[in-house]
């Protein structure tokens, strides 16, 4: 169980793994995640379910930045995870819209760096339901970008890099501002990336009176809301990630 069927390096320090997990794959929806453990005493690592093959496996994408994710990156095809729990969390609100509602629903996704991974399943869902969203994907430099070909097929993709090594020079917010100042309007903007990036996307969305959904990635322990570690205060109310 939970063996790695396929492993691929997507970008600098960024890996894709397909993991045998048919029970999770059967019911996973865009926006949901799993918690993986490489060993019995390993750290619990929450990761978005990026894709799924219903009877077989789930796809995860992660960046090797800390001890546990580096340990994960050292695993290869045929190796197995000790544990994979999921699907956890609520699915994206977008999956509750009917095909009729989706037909003229205009969404812009704003993805920063590894934030491209959580955006991808939502874009794929919309595309498969007759919608073609805009996607603004940004990274410091070209070698950190991934899934641009996949996203290009399913969306109107705008790529930005801080150093102009790919696409337009600038940050994702520069690109979004250009689009909005050219008169394009969205029913919703969805932002996934660092807190500071999401903060500036929210400010821009507010300036243009567009509803904005962000993906808060507060500290997570059990992944169900039971322990309360992921609680955040929004408008004076306590919520769980």
* Single residue of 61, 72, 139, 189 touching ligand NAD by CB under 6 A: 139
Q: Which is nearer to ligand NAD, 69 or 80 (CB)?
A: 69
Ordered alpha helix ranges (H), 33-74: 67-73
Instruction: Give the other-Cβ count within 10 Å of 147's Cβ.
Output: 22
Q: Which is nearer to ligand NAD, 20 or 123 (CB)?
A: 123
Q: Does 34 bind ligand NAD (CB under 6 A)?
A: no
Distances (CA, A) of 177 to 30, 169, 193, 200, 203: 27, 13, 17, 11, 11
* Single residue of 18, 87, 217, 223 touching ligand NAD by CB under 6 A: 217
* Single residue of 17, 36, 84, 114 touching ligand NAD by CB under 6 A: 114
Q: Does 197 bind ligand NAD (CB under 6 A)?
A: yes
What six digits make up the tokens of 185?
Answer: 């309007």
Whether the CB-CB separation of 65 and 13 falls below 8 Å is answered with: yes
Q: Does 112 bind ligand NAD (CB under 6 A)?
A: yes
* Single residue of 77, 101, 156, 162 touching ligand NAD by CB under 6 A: 162
Residues 6+ apart with CB under 8 A from 131: 102, 103, 105, 107
Q: Does 173 bind ligand NAD (CB under 6 A)?
A: yes
* Single residue of 49, 73, 180, 192 touching ligand NAD by CB under 6 A: 192
């Amino acid at each position: 169980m939970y063996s790695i069927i396929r492993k691929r390096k997507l970008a600098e320090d960024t890996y894709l793994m397909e993991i045998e997990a048919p029970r999770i794959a059967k019911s996973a929806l865009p926006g949901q995640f799993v918690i993986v453990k490489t060993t019995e005493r390993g750290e619990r690592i929450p990761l978005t379910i990026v894709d799924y093959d219903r009877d077989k496996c789930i796809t995860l994408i992660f960046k090797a930045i800390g001890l546990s994710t580096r340990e994960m990156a050292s695993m290869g095809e045929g190796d197995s995870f000790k544990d994979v729990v999921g699907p956890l969390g609520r699915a994206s609100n977008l999956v509750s819209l009917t095909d009729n509602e989706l037909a003229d629903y205009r969404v812009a996704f704003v993805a920063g760096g590894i934030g491209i991974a959580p955006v991808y399943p939502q874009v794929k869902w919309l595309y498969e339901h007759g919608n073609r969203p805009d996607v603004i994907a940004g990274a410091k430099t070209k070698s950190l970008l991934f899934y641009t070909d996949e996203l290009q097929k399913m969306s109107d993709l705008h790529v930005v890099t801080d150093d102009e090594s790919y696409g337009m020079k600038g940050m994702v917010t520069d690109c979004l501002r250009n689009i909005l100042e050219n008169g394009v309007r969205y029913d919703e903007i969805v932002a996934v990336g660092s807190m500071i990036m999401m903060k500036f996307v929210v400010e821009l969305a507010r300036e243009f009176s567009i509803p904005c959904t962000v993906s808060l990635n507060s500290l997570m322990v059990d992944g169900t809301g039971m322990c309360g570690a992921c609680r955040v205060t929004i408008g004076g109310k306590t919520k769980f990630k």
